[in-house]
Amino acid sequence: MTGEQRPEGLRDRKKRATHRALTEAAVRLAAEHGAENVTVEAISEAAGVSPRTFFNYFDNRDEAFVMIDADVADRVRRAVLDAPPERPPLWAVADAYAAELPDPGTGHELWELRVQVLRRSPHLLVSTLGAHQADEKRLAGTIAARVAAAGCADPGVYPRLLAAVANTAARVAMEHWSSGDRERPVPEIFREVFGHLAAGLPAPGPAAALTTTSAGARGPRPPLTTPQRE
């Protein structure tokens, strides 16, 4: 299942850095002044590029507020496909997501600023939800391909469900971290969420037995089994 992966060249790294600079500038300006008061010219100046360069990356101003890293979804899908064949699909997706969650410091700060911007601008929230749904649908296609490679030609709703669950788990982990559980890194919280999902979401209680999966997540037993179709 693992395919050849082209090493990222200098040009690709520069493009990624420029995109990240533009989205960061857009989010910071919008958090300070309100998204409706931020112009393409202001974003470009803050990022150190020209407005013409801005439009090499975005079709319009609002797109700069929607995604923090345009390459994340592609890397997640590639990681799902490249995971070892014996890795259950749920944990292949969990590993891919955990590797892309924000690092402590700037990553978390930008996520919180972006949440503030979206809450104050409902039209941007709608656009963001649309972008996430499109990525979710593409991820479902990737999951279906992985399951098919393992011999299941008709996985039913499983790919769409797992893709939707992964997005929800990432949001829950980030919100849980943001609400006060900042002693633990977000990827650890995220893996714990997946541990509960893998166990079938049993109700928590004093007698619940927790186990650590091979993905490093804490969750109640029993372990995950891969769905089978007749």
This prediction's pTM: 0.73
Cβ atoms of 136 and 163 within 8 Å: the answer is yes
Residue 229 pLDDT > 50: no
Residue 198 pLDDT > 50: yes
| 110/31 Cα distance (integer angstroms) | 10
Nearest by Cα to 197 from 218, 214, 171, 179: 218
Q: What is the tens place of the pLDDT at every residue in 142-186?
A: 999 999 999 998 999 999 999 999 999 988 988 888 787 778 888
For residue 160, the model assigns a pLDDT of: 96
The phi, psi pair for 26, rounded to 5°, reads: -60, -45
For residue 186, the model assigns a pLDDT of: 86
Cβ atoms of 190 and 101 within 8 Å: the answer is yes
For residue 142, the model assigns a pLDDT of: 97
For residue 94, the model assigns a pLDDT of: 95
Q: What is the tens place of the pLDDT at every residue in 11-45?
A: 878 888 898 899 999 999 999 999 999 999 999 99
| Residue where the block lists tokens 């490093």 | 216
Q: Is 80 exposed, middle or buried (0-12, 13-18, 19+ CB in 10 A)?
A: buried
| 196/206 Cα distance (integer angstroms) | 15
DSSP at 68: S
Residue 65 pLDDT > 70: yes
Buried residues in 4-14 as b, exposed as e (16+ CB within 10 A): eeeeeeeeeee
| 226/41 Cα distance (integer angstroms) | 51
Query: Which range is least confidently modeled, 97-101, 126-130, 137-141?
Result: 126-130
For residue 214, the model assigns a pLDDT of: 46
Query: How far is residue 178 from each of residues 7, 30, 71, measured CA to CA in Å?
Result: 34, 20, 24
- Tell me the sheet residues that pair with 212: 218
Q: Is 27 exposed, middle or buried (0-12, 13-18, 19+ CB in 10 A)?
A: buried
Residue 226 pLDDT > 50: no
pLDDT band at 212 (very low <50, low <70, confident <90, very high): very low
For residue 3, the model assigns a pLDDT of: 45
| Three-state secondary structure call for residue 83 | coil
